[in-house]
Structure formats: C-alpha cells, structure tokens
Amino acid sequence: MFDWDKDQEDLVGIGNKPPAVGTQSRQSGLRSKLGFGLLGAVIVLGFAYEKDMLLQTRAGSTFALGMFGQAASAPLQDALPEGLLAYDNAQARRYLRGLRLADTATLHGYAARLQSDLVQADPLLAPFLRDAKTLVLSELAQRGG
C-alpha cells in the first residue's frame, strides 16, 4: 500500500543531494542580474512610450535618418497654423509628427484627396477634413513644396 508521507521522496524524486555550491550561486547571480537588467529596460521603454519619446529617439538615430530622410529628424514647429476648428494643440502636433514622416509627393496626393473628400463630406466631418487639409498644406509650405 502507498503511504504518501513515506513514499513521496521516491515517487517525486526529491533527493537529499545538496546542490553544487559554486554552480548554483553563479547561476542565480546571473539570473538575478539579467532579470533586473530586463526589468530596467522594460521600465525605461515604458516611460519613454508614456512620455511619447520613442518617436523622437528613433528620429535621432542614424538608422532612422537613413530610413525616413531628414523629415523624421525635423523638430516640431512651435506655432500651429491658424484656424483649426476640430483639432486641439496636442492632436494637431501628433498629426504633424505623422505628416513629417511622409515624402512631398505623398503629401500632395493626400492634400488632393482631402479636397475631394471635403466636397462630399458630411457637415459633421467637414471641420476635421478642413483641419487635416490645413495641416497638410502647412507642412507642404514649411518644406517649400
């Protein structure tokens, strides 16, 4: 008959062998350092994401400059265009940040599409389309294109 209290060690394989002292302490030390390093990296990335700094960090890197051109590294303009109806300052800055990643030809096509959408737009959607067109045109004017 099986007696859990007496036969548990044989069944589970729990031995009374002490672990090797040097190997166990080195492995646990390495695991804890690696764990703290990864935890620190996750925390730093979380704060950067929360503060909306990841795009700025990527824009400052050499890889991003080669990939996105000079538009990605351009600093955000302090003055927003006049006459925005639907977008507040934070929304307009985020929108401009996205527009700066596009090339000039894409922005011209987007401005033309916004104009055609504005002609057929619902009155409730028209202020958003006008603001988008204003921001695209201001980005084109800033680029000189």
| 47 located within any domain | no
Q: Is residue 136 part of a domain?
A: yes
- Contact between residue 73 and residue 59 where contact means Cβ atoms under 8 Å apart: yes
**Is 120 a member of any domain?**
yes
Extract long-range pairs of 83-87: CB within 8 Å, 24+ residues apart.
83/134, 84/131, 84/134, 84/135, 85/127, 85/130, 85/131, 86/127, 86/128, 86/130, 86/131, 87/128, 87/131, 87/135
Q: With respect to residue 97, please indicate whether it lies within any of the assigned structural domains.
A: yes
Residue 58 within a domain: no
> Residue 142 pLDDT > 60, yes or no?
yes
User: Containing domain of residue 135, as a range?
Assistant: 82-144
Taking only the tens place, the pLDDT of each residue in 54-96 is 665 555 554 444 544 444 444 544 578 888 888 888 898 998 9
Domains of the chain: total: 1
Res 48 pLDDT > 50: yes
Global pTM value: 0.47
What confidence score (pLDDT) does residue 135 get? 92
